[in-house]
Amino acid sequence: MLRSNIIGTGSYLPAHTLSNHELSKLVDTNNDWIVERTGICSRHIATEETETTVFMGTKAAQNALEMAGLTADKLDLILVATFTPDYIMPNTACQIQAAIHATNAFCFDINAACSGFLYALQTADAYIRSGIYHSILVVGTETISRTIDWQDRSTCILFGDGAGAAILSASHTEKGFLGFLSGSDGSGGMALQLKNRPIKNPCRPTTKDLPDSFPYLSMNGQEVFQFAVRKIPEMVKSITGQNQLSPEDISHYLLHQANLRIIKSVAKRLSLPEERFPVNLSECGNTSAASIPILLDKCYRNSIIQLGSYILLSGFGGGLTWGSALLKL
Ligand code: COA
């Protein structure tokens, strides 16, 4: 059977870190509150003019290509998941293509916020299983720090910058992606939002009160929290059931790194030990579309996940969106 399989992963995190203690000098917060409510201790923040969404995505892509032993000219498709592109046009995938010289690749971006990497993986898998493409680079890369109001304690404590990548290739073995599950609910979308520039043109009668700059990211934290702790266990049960497996058969769950309490609650609802849920949010915070591929890369490179086992990737985010992928290593 033709499947898609991961043959390389990579990641990039900015060298600069911002601790909870440093944040408490900027806004009315403290380390104990942040750790207790989120599990986050620090986050990586892009500080250089050159440390862009494209730059970080390129670094992660180069690491993944190196692990895969593939040259960039062999890539048929580049998919980039991001909601924080450096440019609205050209897209980030085209810019990464130019940076790595993937001259034969077709390139586009996917915006599904924190579920973006899973949506991109599912798209890549469909291209591979249909026989259209053989080798695909999937990147999640974010500079969320540019969208944050650093005076807003309800959001500025949560997010970080970074990038992760995976190379998917056609596989004729039993290894690879066994299934995907994804969904969207636009009716709940305003729980997490980042508005674009307003419509301001000579044909609009009153434009003088409209802001010139982009607004900041805003969120209804509790609504998102409730949605996540309900949706992830639901997806886990469905996708394992569809593949004649039970949640118990999955060796590791790589969940979107948004909040440690969400991850603990999912483990509890599934009656699974927390050790099956690797985390890095303590040092990375929520890096949105980059969160799952950064964690995946850590798990591959540190041999946390083992050949022959089943792993499950699962995420949720703005849109509202959600997605899961079941992988046999
Ligand atoms: N430091 C100290 N106090 C803070 C604070 C901060 N950074 N942020 C909020 N508070 C205060 C609130 O003002 C509130 O005070 P009050 O009781 O006097 O009104 C109190 O802490 C509780 O706030 P609340 O919003 O109810 O906290 P919470 O337990 O829901 O935790 C989040 C807030 C954001 C950590 C939590 O809702 C969350 O993680 N939600 C999911 C967000 C998410 O994952 N987003 C991305 C999805 S991809």
The model's confidence at residue 49, banded by pLDDT at 50, 70 and 90, is confident
* pLDDT grade for 263, boundaries at 50, 70 and 90: very high
Q: Please state the pTM of the whole predicted model.
A: 0.95
Positions marked catalytic: 114, 256, 286
Residue among 65, 185, 80, 197 nearest 143 (CA): 80
For ligand 1, atom 1, the nearest C-alpha belongs to 29
- Do residues 59 and 86 make contact, with C-beta atoms less than 8 angstroms apart? no
Distance 154 CA to ligand 1 centre (A): 6
pLDDT in tens, 68-81: 999 999 999 999 99
- 193 CB less than 6 Å from ligand 1? no
Bridge-partner residues for 321, per DSSP? 184, 317
Closest atom of ligand 1 relative to the 318 alpha carbon: 48
Between 309 and 197, the more confident residue is: 309
Indicate whether 52 pLDDT > 80.
yes
Left (φ > 0), alpha (ψ -120 to 50) or beta: where does 48 sit? beta
225 Cβ closer than 6 Å to some ligand 1 atom: yes
Runs of H (alpha helix) within 80-210: 92-100, 116-129, 153-156
Q: Dump pLDDT digits (tens) for 271-303.
A: 999 999 999 999 999 999 999 999 999 999 999
- Report pLDDT digits (tens) over 145-204: 999 999 999 999 999 999 999 999 999 999 999 999 999 999 999 999 999 988 888 887
Q: Residue 284: count other Cβ atoms within 10 Å of its Cβ.
A: 26
**Burial (0-12, 13-18, 19+ Cβ within 10 Å), 315:** buried
The mean pLDDT of the chain is 95
